[in-house]
């Protein structure tokens, strides 16, 4: 029986090689998670328009006055997490930082109280919030990478739409 080839061991980079990488590539390209300077990513108009035709949204709970997608909307000052979303058809493009887990919990819980919530989120299938909440909804993975707001290039992450359907509150 023929032996399987042994994997080649990678040698450690030298300090000189590391310095060359730092000079050649900006820190955002060396980051594992492509950290951003902002958690707020303005929704691409085409994505919203297509979803709006399907769902007819009535509430945008995490927006600014400048990028709100619905007449009824909440800004950071309004604290959309503290507001009641029941009986609304909600479009949610939450802040993409650590707080996203709170937004996904709110979206799921609001659907259990009569809201229909459509979430535009990074497809982070390796995160706790994804497995706690996103998997409970109808997941639609988006092809390619989205270009958010006024960005000059596409996002460094894939995106998904998660739909939490209305559940009539029990009496």
Does residue 89 lie within any of the structural domains?
yes
Most confident of 12-16, 20-24, 49-53, 167-171: 49-53
End-to-end distance of the chain based on CA atoms, in angstroms?
A: 69
Residues of the chain above pLDDT 90, percent: 56
- pLDDT of 32 over the 90 cut: no
Place of tokens 């980051």: 31
Give the DSSP per-residue string, 33-87: S---S-S--PPPHHHHHHHHHHH---BBSS--TTT-SSSSB--TTT-GGGS--TT
Does residue 33 lie within any of the structural domains?
no
How far is it, in rounded angstroms, from Cα 11 to Cα 156? 28
The model's pTM is 0.75
Between 66 and 152, the more confident residue is 66
- Local structure of 127: helix, strand or coil: coil
CA dist list (Å): 117 to 15, 62, 109, 126: 50, 12, 10, 22
pLDDT value of residue 144: 85
Identify whether the C-beta of residue 121 lies closer than 8 Å to the C-beta of residue 160. yes
pLDDT category of residue 1 using cuts at 50, 70 and 90: low
Does residue 34 lie within any of the structural domains?
no
How far is it, in rounded angstroms, from Cα 99 to Cα 47? 23
pLDDT value of residue 147: 76
Identify whether the C-beta of residue 156 lies closer than 8 Å to the C-beta of residue 34. yes
Does residue 159 lie within any of the structural domains?
yes
Its domain, for residue 145, covers 39-164
Residues of the chain above pLDDT 70, percent: 74
How far is it, in rounded angstroms, from Cα 81 to Cα 104? 10
Does residue 30 lie within any of the structural domains?
no
The pLDDT of 163-171, averaged and rounded, is 82
Number of domains in the chain: 1
Residue 72: CATH number of its domain: 3.40.50.150
Dump pLDDT digits (tens) for 80-104.
999 999 999 999 999 988 999 999 9
Taking residue 7's Cβ as centre, other Cβ atoms within 10 Å add up to: 6
Between 131 and 37, the more confident residue is 131
Dump pLDDT digits (tens) for 41-69.
688 878 999 999 999 999 999 999 998 99
């Amino acid at each position: 029986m023929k032996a399987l080839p042994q994997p080649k061991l990678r040698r450690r980079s030298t300090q000189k090689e590391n310095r060359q990488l730092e000079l050649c590539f900006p820190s955002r390209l060396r980051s594992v998670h492509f950290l951003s300077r902002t958690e707020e990513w303005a929704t691409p108009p085409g994505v919203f328009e297509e979803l709006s035709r399907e769902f007819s949204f009535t509430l945008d709970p995490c927006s600014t006055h400048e990028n709100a997608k619905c007449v009824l909307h909440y800004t950071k000052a309004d604290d959309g997490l503290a507001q009641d979303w029941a009986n609304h058809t909600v479009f949610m493009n939450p802040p993409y930082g650590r707080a996203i887990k709170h937004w996904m919990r709110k979206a799921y819980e609001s659907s259990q109280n009569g809201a229909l919530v459509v979430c535009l989120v990074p497809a982070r299938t390796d995160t706790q919030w994804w497995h706690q909440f996103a998997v409970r909804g109808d997941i639609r993975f988006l092809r390619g990478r989205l270009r958010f707001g006024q960005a000059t290039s596409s996002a460094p992450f894939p995106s998904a739409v998660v739909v939490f359907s209305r559940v009539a509150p029990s009496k």
